[in-house]
Amino acid sequence: MSVKILIADDHKIMRDGLRQLLEKEAGMDVIAEAKDGFETMELAEQLRPDIIIMDISMSGLNGMDATRHIMAKEMGCRIIALSMHADKRFVAGMFEAGAMGYLLKDCAYDELIKAIQQVLSGRTYLCSLISGVVIHDYVQRLRKSKPVQLSLREKEILQLLAEGHNTKQIADKLRVSIKTVETHRQHIMSKLGIFSIADLTKYAIREGLTSLES
C-alpha cells in the first residue's frame, strides 16, 4: 500500500521538484499539493494523507499554525517541516505544534526519504544540518539549569544560619574567624541569589539541610 503524501509549499517550482523526486520512489504517492496553510488544512481533511511535507513560511496561513490546526483535528497525518529556517525557534515551534520531523531545504534528498520512513514508524527526525545547533542549545540550557553547588563549609554555615546562630556563634562552633564566616555568607548569598536570612532558612529547609527541629 502506497504512502499518501501531501506537499505544502508556496513555491510551485519547489512543489514540482519534490513531486518528481518522490514519485520515483516505490510505494510513495503524492496525492495533492497546497500553496498555503488554508489549502493544506482543507486538503488534509478531505484526503487524509499519511505524510504532509510542510513549508513554514507560506502566505495566508503559515505552516506552523496550519500544523497546529491539523494536529488538533487528530486526522492521523504525520507532518514533516521542510524549511529554509535553521533558527532553533522555528525548529522548537514546529515540534511543539505537532510536527514529527524537521528538514532544511538544503538537506540532501536522501534525508527526506529517511525522514518519511522514520516518521511513519512513529519516530521523530531532525536533519543533520541542524541537529548540532539543537544539541548545542540543549546543552547550554542544561548548564544554565544546573543546581547551585555549595561547598561543604558553605552548607555547614548555611545550616547554622538557618538554625538561628549569629556570626560569632558560628565562628566559635566551626573554630574559624568571624571574617571567614562573613565571607562565606556573602558567597552563599551571591551563589543562591538570596539576600535575607528568612529566605536562606526556607532554602535550607527545602534542600534538606535542616528541619529546624534540632
**Residue 60, amino acid:** G
Q: Which fold has domain 3-143?
A: Rossmann fold (3.40.50)
- For the chain, the first-to-last Cα distance in angstroms comes to 72
User: What is the per-residue pLDDT across 158-189, written as a single tens digit (0 to 9) for each?
Assistant: 999 999 999 999 999 999 999 999 999 999 99
Map 167-210 to HEC letters.
HHHHHHHHCCCHHHHHHHHHHHHHHHCCCCHHHHHHHHHHCCCC
Helix (H) or strand (E) holding 22: helix 12-22
* CATH placement of domain 152-206: 1.10.10.10
Q: What are phi and psi of 118, to 5 degrees?
A: -70, -45
**pLDDT on residue 131:** 65
| Domain boundaries of the chain, sorted by first residue | 3-143, 152-206
Task: Report the C-alpha dihedral over residues 3, 7, 13, 19, rounded to 10 degrees.
Answer: 10
Closest to 17 in 3D by CA, of 128, 101, 112? 112
**pLDDT on residue 214:** 44
Query: How high is the mean pLDDT in each 10-residue block of the chain (214 residues)?
Result: 93 92 91 95 96 92 93 92 85 90 87 92 86 58 65 92 92 93 91 88 85 57
Q: Are 166 and 185 in contact (CB under 8 A)?
A: no
